[in-house]
Amino acid sequence: VAMTEAFAKLADHAIDQWAELHARPWLRVSGGLMGMASGARDTLGALRHNLAQAGVEATISEVGTTGLCYAEPLVDVYVPAGPRVLYANVGPERVPEIVERHVRDGEPVVAYALATVDASVSGLPLREQLPMMRHQVRIALRNAGEIDPGQIDQYIARGGFEGLDKALSEMGAEKVLQTIKDSGLRGRGGAAFPTGVKWGFLAGNPAPLKYILCNCEEGDPGAFNDKTILEADPFTLIEGCIIAGFATGASNGIVFVRHGHDEPIDLTRQAIKACYASGLLGRHILGTDFAFDMEVAEVGESYVAGEETALMEAIEGKRSMPRFRPPFPAAYGVWGKPSNINNIKTLSYVPEIVRRGAEWFKGIGTDKSAGTAIACLSGDIKYPGLVEVPFGVTMRQIVEEMGGGDPGGKAVKLVQTGGPLGGLLPADQLDMVLDYDVMAQAGAMFGSGGLIVCNETRSVVDLTRALIAFDQMESCGKCFPCRLGMTHLLEVLERICDGEGRAGDLELMERVGGNMKIGSLCGHGQLGYNPVASAMRFFGDECRAEVAGEGAIAITPFVGPQGPRRGAQIG
């Protein structure tokens, strides 16, 4: 493989470091926001203490989640010439035995173990045989749980920056752009617009200063894949941004993250700093004439800041409110400069597409939805977490086979998809394949990947009220069809949930929703009626019964952004 001289040196050093890392025990602890919430900090402290007491020299790395969130804190133990084993739900009380028996003596503690990774261990399944892993094809999450997100050498040793080097040393900007077009990659933020076409809009602008913006705002309830990528492998995003800059002639990149998520933000900034130190950012990248700079911009608590023009307003220090279009970002973007905005997941696929080729990526998934999708499972589900699956698998495979269905054995009633602006997918529709166009035709959205599973005890009307309450609170208020429409929908739904429904309420919400769709400035208002529309489409009888005060499902009062629901329980 042709390489620039600069990258060949980086690769040689990284491989040497990788070999040295495997010369002694290596313990990877799933950290990040989910791991920390499960007690990973205490587990890390106990590991360091017990290794020191046992006199064992080992490397401890805090890695991002593997996606097996139900198993956290998860400890991945590798010992030279021995089996690599994953231990689930490791609290400090389990650490001494794992250190003494497995790390020191090489004998896995099967009673605490979840799976083995690279060797046969009696009584343990292989990791790929776990329910959540069976259908997975990992591209964007290829390094999740495998590398220390703060160590650039580990990323390079596993093929990182080979795509960038190939782009600079062999392909050229036009060929890279054509490769992305040919791959069939579509935006993973929800709109599913062809990425190569979007890049082409920016590439055709001759302006000397252009921006690549990465959208990692991720305010969807039920979606947690964007921050997971930053926690597990920020380098894949950085490499994708640099390649996008090269293909479009852009000179600057900005990663846009909601403030308060300190670990993802800090890891991304550390990774950017490491790339500058390695000659992968700045001037003369890998000894070529190409230059590209990157930084992280933080935004306050605003769901609508994920809309691309509101995102640019926030970067400029203004209130997060959508702009009128045209002009579009490729002509007039952040600070008035031509810009391209992609979701973090979209950019995270780019390095492997360039490295392996368009046909490789196009060969995964379906004809119109190429590659894989990252789904976040939460709600009434046995195995909550993240899975990366090829398009074409069914929703039933994801929810029931990989997620394990309801933990108590109750029937799955519906899956809420596409975030708070998405819809409700009833159980009899779960054989639908994961495909952007197929789901859109059925009135469903995959959106950013959040799948909230609800069992048979859940009230559709109460769930819809919770979604609209979120949407109403997060409306920026710039345009009145959204601002007033969301408020009106919430008032009607709260009245119904209080047992005070009126004849004509459903028709009233339909009229309000139609006005919102026609008159709203951005997708927040245009899609805001979706939860109500899908509830009435698939659960019309239940909705009408609730309006008439005949609801038969006992539900817990919702406590959300508007406070507790008024009145008594329904049922």
**Helix, strand or coil for residue 40?**
helix
Judge whether residue 563 has pLDDT over 80: no
User: CB of 444 within 8 A of CB of 459?
Assistant: no
Rounded mean pLDDT of 233-248? 98
User: Alpha helix locations (H) across 204-335?
Assistant: 225-232, 234-248, 262-277, 308-315
CA 221 – CA 451 distance, rounded (Å): 9
Alpha-carbon span 139 to 349, nearest angstrom: 7
User: Residue 567: which pLDDT band, with cuts at 50, 70 and 90?
Assistant: very low
Q: How many DSSP H helices and E strands does the chain contain? A: 22, 16
- In which band, very low, low, confident or very high, does the pLDDT at 1 lie, cut at 50, 70 and 90? low
Say if residue 52's pLDDT is above 60: yes
- Predicted local distance difference test score (pLDDT) of residue 380: 97
Region 150-172: mean pLDDT is 97
User: In sequence order, what are the residues at sequence separation of 6 or more whose Cβ sits closer than 8 angstroms to the Cβ of residue 427?
Assistant: 411, 412, 413, 414
Q: What is the pTM of this model?
A: 0.93
> Which pLDDT belongs to residue 561?
42
The pLDDT of residue 269: 97
* Dihedrals phi, psi of 442, to nearest 5 degrees: -90, 5
Work out the mean pLDDT of the chain and round it to a whole number.
92
91 close to 343: Cβ distance less than 8 angstroms: no
- The answer to whether 354 and 368 have CB atoms below 8 angstroms apart is no
Q: Is 569 exposed, middle or buried (0-12, 13-18, 19+ CB in 10 A)?
A: middle
Between 36 and 175, the higher pLDDT residue:
175
Q: Is the pLDDT of residue 189 over 90?
A: no
Q: Which two tokens stand for residue 436?
A: 């952007």
Angle, in degrees to the nearest 10, between helices 195-203 and 234-248: 50
Position 451 scores a pLDDT of 95
Mean pLDDT of the region 158-178: 97
Nearest to 101 by CA among 123, 79, 116: 79
